[in-house]
């Protein structure tokens, strides 16, 4: 794991240190411009959707933290006082406008924050803003890989990692399993507890899923209340064992004084060159069947079985 201190060795100024830091994180040449080339290609223009911004404000309701504090926490991963949060946010926002005019395109908040903080005098209020800029870089990297709510891999990152893993399984003539998971009656949970309550349920279930996986497994949030997991080198028995472990853990937990259940579609394959989309389609079909049959169950379609069994 790199450290900022290592990145600063032999550097004569903050910009040089940030360039070297960027090279350590992204593997880019150390003379690459810090802000634009690295982060634009990694996260796109912004990496924060309008819905995510609204969620940040929504979570401030009844909280001890203000909207500005949540915004700065989202950008840097650090907590600031209300006064410092407003000051930093206004500085970043103004700098974003300047960059937009200079570049004739919107660079996004992460890029603006990185460029603003990496060039800000560390003598200002005694703060070493290069440390904060490092946090912004790490947040950019995390935002490109992780789901902002659950902390699991986001869909794009999970799919890419799964494709690479399947290719490795294919070279060994092995097999693997896909688990497509969906929270039962999630719309009712949202109706009863609101979207914030629904988010809390998703976070708790994501934690259970993550804790139930083997060390080699890959799990991500597929979208909404759906989760996708890849189990390399897993036959039907292993796949059922993991899926049942998840199902039982969710069923036995209590979410806001309410029992919540999960349905899981499982498919076991030989890595034979079929596309990722086709693999997922089979697991999704199993999930669809179990959702329309019993819910709170596991349904598996296996290369080793002709008849998909229902497990509960």
Catalytic site residue from 147, 182, 225, 284: 225
Q: How far apart are CA 228 and CA 238, in angstroms?
A: 16
Pairing of the two strands 218-223 and 226-232: antiparallel
Contact indicator for 183, 205 with CB cutoff of 8 Å? yes
Q: How far apart are CA 223 and CA 195, in angstroms?
A: 15
Pick the closest to residue 165 from 216, 101, 237 (CA basis). Answer: 216
Q: How far apart are CA 90 and CA 68, in angstroms?
A: 10
Q: How far apart are CA 71 and CA 57, in angstroms?
A: 8
**Residue 264 contacts by C-beta under 8 Å, 6 or more apart in sequence?**
179, 180, 181, 182, 243, 246, 247, 287, 290, 297, 298, 299
Helix and strand tally (H, E) in the chain?
Answer: 12, 6
* Residue 199 known to be catalytic: no
Q: Which residues are catalytic?
A: 225
């Amino acid at each position: 794991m790199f450290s900022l201190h290592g990145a600063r060795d032999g550097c004569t100024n903050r910009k040089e240190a940030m360039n070297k830091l960027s090279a350590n994180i992204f593997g880019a040449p150390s003379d690459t411009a810090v802000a634009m080339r690295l982060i634009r290609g990694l996260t796109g223009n912004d990496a924060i959707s309008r819905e995510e911004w609204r969620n940040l404000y929504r979570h401030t309701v009844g909280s001890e933290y203000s909207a500005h504090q949540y915004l700065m926490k989202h950008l840097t991963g650090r907590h600031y006082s209300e006064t410092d949060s407003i000051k930093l946010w206004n500085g970043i926002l103004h700098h974003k406008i300047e960059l937009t005019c200079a570049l004739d395109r919107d660079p996004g908040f992460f890029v603006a924050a990185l460029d603003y903080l990496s060039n800000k005098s560390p003598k200002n209020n005694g703060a070493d803003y290069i440390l904060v800029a490092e946090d912004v870089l790490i947040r950019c990297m995390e935002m490109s890989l992780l789901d902002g709510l659950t902390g699991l891999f986001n869909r794009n990152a999970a799919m890419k990692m799964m494709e690479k893993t399947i290719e490795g399984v294919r070279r060994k003539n092995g097999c693997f399993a896909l688990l497509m998971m969906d929270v039962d009656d999630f719309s009712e949970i949202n109706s009863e507890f609101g979207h914030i309550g629904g988010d809390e349920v998703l976070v708790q279930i994501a934690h259970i899923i993550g804790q139930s996986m083997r060390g080699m497994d890959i799990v991500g949030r597929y979208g909404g209340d759906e989760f996708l997991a890849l189990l390399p080198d897993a036959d039907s028995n292993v796949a059922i064992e993991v899926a049942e472990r998840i199902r039982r853990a969710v069923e036995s937990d209590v979410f806001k004084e309410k029992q919540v259940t999960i349905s899981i579609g499982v498919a076991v394959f030989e890595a034979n060159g079929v596309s990722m989309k086709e693999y997922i389609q089979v697991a999704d079909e199993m999930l669809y069947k179990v959702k329309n049959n019993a819910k709170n169950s596991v349904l598996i379609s296996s290369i080793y079985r002709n008849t998909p069994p229902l497990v509960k």
